[in-house]
């Protein structure tokens, strides 16, 4: 693998970040950290979407300019990602000059290619979706299915993109590239949507929406979200219709573009048609994740159950974000919806991180100190044992899961292996072997467990970088190994630890948050 380029959806800044936003960004950070163990060249792009009517209205309601609102909320997103140990390469804002200029050039190129035309239009517009809807898209009561509000009837003369021109080419690409849309069960959904697509509006009249990028050569119109927001994936790399940057040439096409299931249509159809018109290579994979609910209820401002990641960290007195990172990305199978609840959060991280992995490490290191003064002796290392084989198999299994972006499934494999190691300890009882003065046999068991813990730390690093770092330190192990080197390396002989170095890498949690919030209402 020469390079790995991942993009997230860019978050709309008419509000502050919540755990739905956090789920996607943590998921992407975990994927990028894993692939950073396999290549030195990972590019991770995220950012904020900063134009449109909702921002215009929210800013006015708060006596702010749209730019002030964008600056404030974009900063809140960036701070939240820092608090969650999300290490992106670039953070693009659609109000940045680099993006604005590139988008205007893209618009002009699409016009030159004959794919944009002006047209008078009468349609149903949902301000929540910032999208025109067809009658067939609405509920029986004539409401937007996502926002449960009646769209307004709008009559405008806008610029339209010839989406229908690319219908057959998109269908052909999807059918010929089985990994293009993931998870696979989303493919038929997209193909059904393609059956009755129409050309799409790609501008709005300034009388309706003034906060946006001006259409080149037409000051009465602003560029609409499809060309503006979607283009960030290439404008951030320095795409230019005349002279693309070396960064763009190096990293595009994206290896994977991770987005929520609600915007799959726009990425797998609209975005792809735009790229086809521009003559730009298509991304390798578009991966659609599910939603995060709160106690099995969809997040909603009106229900008062929108939760900020910072509030969870504070309520549970977590000084490090690893527990929340781990829980969020393991709460949903690949592409499915997940759920947040206090009890599940506590039970899962206590079981997997504190009791299972953390306690296993703590007990084993204490036995190494108690019986061998923290020293691994050469006779403890016996190649080809069952735990070593199980570890090597798990390393390969986790790698295969990540190749398909199945992050929760990879984590489950790691936990299953730690369960196997715990059972190995119980079955072989090194404390009994020591009591019987079978010290070499006792040392072999302890070494096998600690070597397994080293592999677990490497595999767990993308999820829990701080916890993994503590494990590496307590094992005196090399934390800079590449993934393909995990099985070839081993813990070295000699003194690796002492009593003063050993401490729980993850203490048990015991607190409430969402439940208290509901009681207080």
Q: Where in the sequence numbering do the catalytic residues fall?
A: 18, 21, 126, 129, 144, 147, 298, 301
Please report how many Cα atoms fall inside a 13 Å half-sphere around the Cα of residue 241, on the Cβ side.
19
Buried-exposed string 40-60: b where 16+ CB fall within 10 A, e elsewhere: eebbbbbbbbbbbbbbbebbe
Q: How far apart are CA 402 and CA 255, in angstroms?
A: 12
Q: Which of 107, 111, 96, 97 lies closest to 48, judged by CA?
A: 96
CB 236 within 8 A of CB 92: yes
Number of other residues whose CB lies within 10 A of the CB of residue 2: 7
Structure tokens at 203: 């501008």
CB 103 within 8 A of CB 95: no
Q: What is the DSSP annotation of 460-517?
A: HTTT-HHHHHHHHHHHT--TT--GGGTTT--PPSEE---GGG---SSPPP---SHHHH
Q: In what order do the strands lie in the sheet containing 152-161?
A: 131-133, 116-126, 152-161, 200-201
Number of other residues whose CB lies within 10 A of the CB of residue 241: 17
Q: What is the largest CA-CA distance in the chain?
A: 90
Pairing label, strands 4-8, 42-49: parallel
Phi, psi of 230 (to 5 degrees): -65, -30
CB 280 within 8 A of CB 252: yes
* Tokens 């003065």, located at residue: 437
Q: How far apart are CA 213 and CA 216, in angstroms?
A: 9
CB 305 within 8 A of CB 299: yes
Phi, psi of 261 (to 5 degrees): -60, -25
Rg of the chain over Cα atoms, rounded to whole angstroms, equals 26
Q: How far apart are CA 501 and CA 396, in angstroms?
A: 31
Q: How far apart are CA 316 and CA 318, in angstroms?
A: 5
């Amino acid at each position: 693998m020469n390079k790995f380029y991942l993009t997230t959806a860019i978050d709309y800044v008419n509000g502050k970040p919540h755990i739905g936003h956090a789920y996607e960004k943590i998921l992407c950070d975990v994927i990028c950290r894993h692939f950073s163990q396999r290549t030195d060249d990972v590019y991770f792009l995220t950012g904020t979407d900063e134009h449109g009517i909702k921002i215009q209205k929210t800013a006015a309601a708060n006596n702010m300019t749209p730019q002030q609102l964008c600056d404030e909320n974009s900063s809140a997103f960036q701070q939240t990602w820092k608090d969650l140990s999300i290490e992106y390469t670039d953070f693009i804002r659609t109000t940045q000059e680099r993006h604005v200029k590139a988008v205007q050039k893209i618009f002009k190129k699409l016009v030159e290619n004959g794919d944009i035309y002006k047209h008078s239009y009468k349609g149903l517009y949902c301000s929540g979706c910032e999208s025109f809807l067809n009658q067939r898209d609405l509920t029986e009561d004539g409401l937007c299915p996502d926002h449960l509000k009646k769209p307004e009837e709008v009559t405008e003369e806008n610029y339209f993109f010839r989406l229908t021109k690319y219908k057959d080419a998109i269908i052909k690409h999807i059918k010929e590239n089985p990994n293009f849309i993931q998870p696979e069960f989303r493919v038929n959904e997209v193909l059904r949507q393609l059956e009755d697509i129409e050309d799409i509006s790609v501008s709005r009249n300034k009388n309706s929406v003034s906060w946006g990028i001006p259409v080149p050569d037409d000051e009465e119109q602003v560029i609409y979200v499809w060309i503006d927001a979607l283009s960030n994936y290439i404008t951030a790399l320095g795409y230019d219709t005349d002279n693309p940057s070396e960064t763009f040439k190096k990293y595009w096409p994206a290896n994977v573009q991770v987005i929520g299931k609600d915007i799959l249509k726009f990425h797998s159809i609209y975005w792809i048609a735009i790229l086809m018109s521009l003559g730009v290579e298509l991304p390798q994979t578009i991966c659609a994740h599910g939603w995060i609910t709160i106690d099995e209820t969809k997040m909603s401002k009106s229900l008062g159950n929108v939760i900020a990641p910072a509030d969870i960290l504070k309520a549970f007195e977590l000084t490090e974000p690893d527990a929340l990172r781990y829980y969020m990305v393991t709460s949903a199978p690949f592409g499915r919806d997940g759920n947040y609840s206090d009890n599940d959060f506590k039970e899962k991280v206590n079981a997997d991180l504190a009791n299972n992995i953390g306690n296993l490490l703590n007990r084993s290191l204490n036995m190494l100190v108690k019986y061998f003064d923290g020293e691994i002796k050469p006779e403890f290392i016996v190649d080809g044992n069952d735990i070593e084989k199980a570890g090597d198999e798990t390393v390969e299994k986790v790698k295969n899961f990540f190749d398909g972006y199945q992050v929760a499934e990879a984590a489950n494999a790691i936990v299953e292996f730690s369960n196997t190691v715990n059972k190995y300890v119980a079955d072989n009882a090194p404390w009994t072997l020591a009591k019987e003065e079978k010290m070499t046999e006792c040392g072999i068991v302890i070494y096998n467990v600690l070597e397994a813990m080293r592999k677990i730390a490497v595999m767990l690093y993308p999820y829990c970088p701080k916890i993994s770092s503590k494990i590496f330190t307590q094992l005196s192990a090399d934390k800079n190994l590449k993934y393909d080197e995990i099985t070839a390396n081993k813990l070295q002989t000699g003194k690796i630890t002492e009593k003063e170095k050993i401490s729980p890498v993850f203490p048990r949690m015991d607190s409430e948050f969402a439940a208290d919030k509901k009681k207080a209402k």
